[in-house]
Structure 1
Amino acid sequence: MPGQQKRKRDDDPDPVAEPRDNGMGVADTLARLNEASPETDDSTKKSSGEMARSSKKRRADGEKTKYPVLTYVEGRLQSSIRIADLQGLLLYCFADGIAPQWIAVKHSGHVRKVVVLMVPGLEIGMFDGTIPLKPITAGDCHNGEEKVPSGDSIQENDTSDDRRNEDFRNWKEGLPPPDRSHRYNPRALSSDTLPEPLRPLSDMFPHVWPVKAPGDNKYNKVHSPLQAILMSSLPKTKDDSSRKGARPPRVDKSAIFKRTPITTFISSLEDLRDSEYPLHPALLGSDAEKEQEVESRRRNNRSAEDGWVDTDVANLDAGIVPDAEIESGSVTAGRKILSLDCEMCLTEGDKSELARISLVGWDGEVVLDELVQPSRPVTNYLTQYSGITKEMLDPVTTTLADIQQRLLTILTPQSILIGHSLNSDLTALKLTHPFIVDTAIIYPHPRGPPLKCSLKWLTQKYVNKEIQKGGNGHDSVEDARAVLELVKQKCEKGERWGTSDASNESIFRRLGRSTRVGKSATPGEGRTGAVVDWGSPERGFGSQATASIGCRDDNDVVNGVAVAVNGDESNPSIPGGGVDFTWARLRNLEHLRGWCNRAPDPNNANASTTLVSPPEETTPTTSIGDSTGAAPVDNVLAETVTQTVTDIARIYESLPPCTMFIVYTGTGDPREVSRLQAMHRTYREEFNSRKPWDELSVKWTDTEEQALKKACEQAREGCGLMCVK
């Protein structure tokens, strides 16, 4: 059926649920904030056929039109929908997106505008009483005990590990897997069953949906719920499906590259510690830190007595080149760039020792290429990786100490060493240097650390060149030159190159390529968009929007959405008749619940968010709640939820007909994730500084790891509501 896709995720779908007509006004919405709505007589309900017929042709702005209808197709979903699915719904209606499988959209081409509202702090547990919105009173208890939500509640506290264990037990006993469709399917909203502050939502939305925020359960991460809506993957090309191996990066044709000096990419002390680099004394500021590092190196056999050397760099300022000596526009910033790669072999005691070193200059010429005789008898030449054989190494008399002395001569305070996972090479060389550029860091893995992309994959993807071919092992000169090309490309294209940001584009740019339709549309005119948020949204995700409206509070956001959607003659950035797509955010509730560590800064829209990374931006310092659970239940929470629902209703009332309205919460409660991540960061810093275990202020064990995993899964559980006015 054109404009409607009723595909589901299972092979035995249940009957289609009755579509709900959301074309009604909400004149009584605000009045119902303080009183319950009357019960609906079943005899007044329309059948699904009558409902469909009534929505086929209706008047909008004085003319008849086919009203878009969102119809939830009842099924047994095996997972929650994602924020990316909400973006897919938007792109299906307004751009080149494919039809969603989780919801049917009738007359999608008649959606005139889309408004997406983010409301962090609103949780799905509020809808069924799992998270109470008022204090427990004597009338709510039985025998002095608090009521516990039934098993039919929307939110459950089990994790994916719990579910897998339950599935395994059922499998062992020959039982079918349990039906968890109630966990993932949307729940119908009824004013009779909703807490009083939430009842007006049932006038606007037919269901509340479990919506999962992006993240990585394996590495305990929650990703940005803003980026999941406001950033879109670049369209695929025909070559993407036919090419084997790493695909070339997709680049936004309108992207502007900025030449960047290599000094921008020098690894910080924190990056070096996270990657387990041996630290040069010049990196450490205070004498206490230096003494601690000396003791740590002594304990870990990395001292001068163990054959380790440090390059002759007194302090970090010694590497600075005067501006007068830097050629205009130079990406090397007057520094001496050397690309390093080493090959190793195994010796007695299963030790890895240096067998070959290659050093290549910025011009690609070889500065040093030497075989090195290990200090212990070789047990495995690792020929398949190193390319080194017994015949090559037997006549060699050059030792590691000889190579160290040559490197101390070559490496000056103004030298920058570049390489791929250079920490292993410097460990083999028993050498430290403060100025490091690591392609494993500046070209991060798409899923983040501790994962790293291989040099072969990066070279194929970004340089379009094959290295390490054949069965003769690696060529360290070839690898060093590959690193050099990757670094040069990074300097030419800028900091975003080689990151996940480079393969994405703003949703506003993508919508801008989609031609508008309708009588009022200008031929070839693209879709327009706006961001309405606290502070100055034009500095962040709103930089590519048609209009950005900065706000000081949620009331400003409500008024700003009305202006963006309907137009404002006093604001020349907003086209006549308003923009096609608007993204906005209400923030009072997240602040009240302690999901950010301070009131949102009215001068900076991106100053504090509900994201769990970095933790210091989300760990509350003063809030009405503690750091691990929901805010205490008092009248303040109920009043704030009531006001937030009022604001949602006011936004709904301001929307013109045929507007799709999507509300999503972003994430669940991020505070426990923030606390545990901060704890883990402290542990890593102390552990990497080689502190003895019994002196660590924080000890990270499997217990804490599992607690973080569970907190991360719970923080990814959000909710959403959607309708067409």
Structure 2
Amino acid sequence: MGKRKRQERHSDHPQESVGATVQRLRFENEEEATRLDTRRSSTSSADAEANTSTAAGTDGWQQVDRTARKKRKKLEKNYPTISHSHHARLQSFVKISDLQNLALYFLADGSAPQWVSIQHHQHINKVVVLMVPGLDASLFDGSIELGSSTRNSAGDVFEPAAEKGETGNSTAPAAPPSSDQSRSLAIKPDDYYPVKLFSSKVSPALKPLAQLFPHIWPIKTPGDPRKMHSPIFSMLSSPIPRPKEDKNIKGPRPPVESKHWKNQRTPITDFVMTKSELSENGFVLHPAHLSTDAERTVEAARRHRNVQSAADGWVDLLPSISLNDSLVPESEVQSGSVTAGRDVYIIDCEMVSTTVDRFALARISLISWDGQVVLDELVQPPDPVKDYLTPFSGITKEMLDGVTLTLADIQARLSDLLTPRSILAGHSLDSDFRAIKITWPFVVDTTLLYPHPKGPPQKSSLKWLTQKYLGREIQGNVSKGHDSVEDARAVLGLVKEKCERGKEWGTGSASGEPIFRRLGRCGRVNAVQGKKVKEDEKNGVNGKADQKEDWELHPRKTGAMVDWVGNMHGFAASASVAVTCKSDEEVVGAVIRAAVGDQGMGDQKSNNDHAGQEDANVPPGGCDFVFGRLRELEFERGYSPRIPGLDDRPEDDHPDEQADGNDPQSLTRTVQKTVQRIQDIYGALPERTAVIVYSGSGDPRRMIELQKMQARFKEEYAVKKWDELSVQWSDTEEQALKAAVETARRGVAFIGVTPIRDGSGQVVTGERV
């Protein structure tokens, strides 16, 4: 019997490796395998053309340069990937803290994640995290119908990109044949496995995401059955390990940093609330903050609508002053003074409930910076008192009998007392200002100086802050209620403590370390950095053995915080670069600049110089970790109110529409613009950059509505009879709240790695991750 001859292979079908064959068999359909063959052949052709050159003077002979080809193959072989393993067995939802740990695993001391498959993580150089509220599962599962065609900002008809990998690093997978041609993905509320992101199963406005990311990951925001915690704090704040000796302490514990804290005296002017902070926290804006006629017209209409105009008894104290009138010449400022030449007054009010107003002023106390009582008066409400709220206000009927001082008298006395250099400080001053019916431009609020550990909209009580940071008790006599002078002195102590300690005291750092600090201290170092760190540990810094690595001055990994104005939440001080923006367009430019550096921006830098009010020099090569937030979709869907004076929409773009997310065309346009901005950021990032896009939450509107109802019920229940309550709270509302919170906590995320690009910036190879 003769030997069997090996069949000759056709030249169009080159020999395939065993690994490639196995990979081909694992594909779900033949189209995927065909796509891989196309990419592999095109890549090989590109490499051959790039690495083959004709030597001059050799009469047509070709000289093959194998060095560049070897480098390219080595780069492709070791290129980092993030993928969902089909063999993975998830036991619960992926949490935002898992996304944070993923970033720390790439750049610092995070543990290896078990919920996702990662290869060559040490080759990832940067991490960019984008929070996009409103980009949740309802846009993908068919719950919300998006238009089939939209227009871009230039007014051109939007057509989805051709599926040739033009905007990403590969072509989006085709959906399996199905009789159901609706554009929706099968995303189940209780399923915590990722869902394949098919381009043909999503709206045209969302197709670019399918070209960048292979899966949509269900994400759960931290919280409890009755409330959701802040998705920003969950990403940017990591807990600080507490010493063993502190574990037995009961009640509010002293800050972890108090033992090794380095004070940084800060003038109180650094804590005066900005225009955006005032608006977001419910303050009525003083005319000094309104610089244009358009702003004044909008604010006047809003005040009239909310019964806060002059006709309703409201007074703008010193209405003709400007913000510049508060400036004090340096020659008049005492060296090292935290008041910076300003007159600081602490104000606190007690209220009662009348037949007309829910809360009316009954007592006002004002103390100076040195603790002296400047004003302490009882006020006769303008309408009959319905409830004195004694357990909270400390006001009784006997106290107000014979009182003749009116609200107008108090407004006049404050107008005579205050000057353009005066600052009013307090706790939840928006409530006090509503009771006094005044506006003032220079305000310091302890709820912002000491944000709640779980993040906004939650606020810490004055009693808890005083116990934690000042170590003393207030409001201890329940029967007599609160004392406005005692509360004002507690606020004074907190403000002085903040000025002495520094901006980071009492922020997220007090209960959790900002991720920027952790990256600076524990960031993964390269070979050169590692050698220097070892020398510093052995010999000390600058040859002094008693000194250690100064990671605050020279962080191992740098970070950038990019967000809308007034939304830094105390993290800007820890970031190497902090940029505040007024629109999503500015956020895109700032994120790209923070990631690639000024040198990498080229001609784009001049187009983005206007972005940011807290702009800083970006390190050469860009920052290692960049966090940015796009908010236009959040505003469009009504998840948060728009910031007055800041609107990313063109003036001729649906001017008569209300931003509640109910108009399909308006929503589709906003979704398309938001996705395009994600695509722009992704395409501008350098190679080996991990990109994490997460929504932060689901739809929170019903949850917020029920939480407000419950808060009002608790306030009234403590001082009123059952049949006098304006709202009722039964098991029906309780179960509705739990269901709404569960819905709000369900978000989504997209995870990927930027692909390999050639010298012209075109994608040459790489699997979607």
TM-score class, shorter-chain normalisation, is 0.5 to 0.7
Change (3 A) 1:80 1:97: closer
CA contact (8 A) 2:315 2:439 kept: yes
Aligned residue number for residue 474 of structure 1: 482
Change (3 A) 1:210 1:600: farther
Pairs aligned (count) = 514
Change (3 A) 1:612 1:393: same
Identify the match of residue 163 of structure 2 among 131, 135, 138.
Answer: 135
CA contact (8 A) 2:193 2:217 kept: no
Identify the match of residue 400 of structure 1 among 404, 407, 430.
Answer: 407
**CA-CA distance at 1:93 after TM superposition:** 12
**CA-CA distance at 1:415 after TM superposition:** 1.4
Q: Does 1:611 align with 2:629?
A: yes
Aligned residues: percent identity?
38
Unaligned runs of 5+ in 1: 1-19, 21-29, 39-69, 106-110, 138-145, 165-177, 187-200, 202-206, 544-582, 652-662, 677-708
Aligned residue number for residue 581 of structure 2: none
The alignment partner of 2:362 has SS state of strand
Change (3 A) 1:37 1:386: same
The alignment partner of 2:468 has SS state of helix
Q: Please, what TM-score do these two structures have when normalized by structure 2? A: 0.51
Identify the match of residue 432 of structure 1 among 431, 436, 439.
Answer: 439
**CA-CA distance at 1:335 after TM superposition:** 1.2
1:265 maps to a residue whose letter is F
Q: CA-to-partner distance for each residue in 1:324-367, whole Å, 9 max, x for gaps?
A: 22111211111111100000111224542111111111011211
Q: Does 1:494 align with 2:502?
A: yes
2:386 maps to a residue whose letter is T
**CA-CA distance at 1:499 after TM superposition:** 2.3
Q: Distance in 2 between matches of 1:379 and 1:432?
A: 27
Aligned residue number for residue 269 of structure 2: 263
- Superposed, which structure 2 residues align to 1:442-457 within 5 Å? 442-457=449-464
Q: Distance in 1 between matches of 2:410 and 2:557?
A: 60
Q: CA-to-partner distance for each residue in 1:647-691, whole Å, 9 max, x for gaps?
A: 86xx6xxxxxxxxxxx74211599x99xx9xxxxxxxxxxxxxxx
CA contact (8 A) 1:257 1:492 kept: yes
CA contact (8 A) 2:221 2:747 kept: no
CA contact (8 A) 2:85 2:116 kept: yes
CA contact (8 A) 2:348 2:485 kept: yes
Identify the match of residue 290 of structure 2 among 260, 284, 291.
Answer: 284
**CA-CA distance at 1:133 after TM superposition:** 8.7
The alignment partner of 2:505 has SS state of coil
Change (3 A) 1:240 1:94: farther
Aligned residue number for residue 416 of structure 1: 423
Q: Distance in 1 between matches of 2:328 and 2:466?
A: 31
Change (3 A) 1:96 1:289: closer
CA contact (8 A) 1:210 1:720 kept: no
Change (3 A) 1:511 1:269: closer
Identify the match of residue 628 of structure 1 among 644, 650, 671.
Answer: 671
Aligned residue number for residue 118 of structure 1: 127
Q: Please, what TM-score do these two structures have when normalized by structure 1? A: 0.54
**CA-CA distance at 1:370 after TM superposition:** 1.6
CA contact (8 A) 2:343 2:422 kept: yes
Identify the match of residue 93 of structure 2 among 65, 79, 90.
Answer: 79
Identify the match of residue 384 of structure 2 among 338, 354, 377.
Answer: 377
**CA-CA distance at 1:213 after TM superposition:** 9.3
2:629 maps to a residue whose letter is L
Q: Distance in 2 between matches of 1:539 and 1:473?
A: 38
CA contact (8 A) 1:208 1:720 kept: no
The alignment partner of 2:481 has SS state of coil
1:85 maps to a residue whose letter is D
Q: How much is the aligned-residue C-alpha RMSD, in angstroms?
A: 6.5
CA contact (8 A) 1:222 1:613 kept: no
Unaligned runs of 5+ in 2: 1-21, 23-35, 45-83, 143-159, 166-173, 198-211, 539-548, 563-571, 578-593, 634-645, 651-667, 702-740, 755-769
Change (3 A) 1:522 1:290: closer
Q: Distance in 1 between matches of 2:338 and 2:482?
A: 29
Aligned residue number for residue 680 of structure 1: none
Q: Distance in 2 between matches of 1:406 and 1:600?
A: 42
Identify the match of residue 332 of structure 2 among 325, 332, 336.
Answer: 325
Aligned residue number for residue 242 of structure 1: 248
1:278 maps to a residue whose letter is V
Q: CA-to-partner distance for each residue in 1:261-309, whole Å, 9 max, x for gaps?
A: 2122222223222223233333322456446655654555444454433
Q: Distance in 2 between matches of 1:280 and 1:618?
A: 24
2:495 maps to a residue whose letter is V
**CA-CA distance at 1:390 after TM superposition:** 1.9
1:484 maps to a residue whose letter is L
CA contact (8 A) 1:609 1:617 kept: no
CA contact (8 A) 1:667 1:717 kept: yes
1:135 maps to a residue whose letter is E
Q: Distance in 2 between matches of 1:375 and 1:401?
A: 10
**CA-CA distance at 1:115 after TM superposition:** 4.7
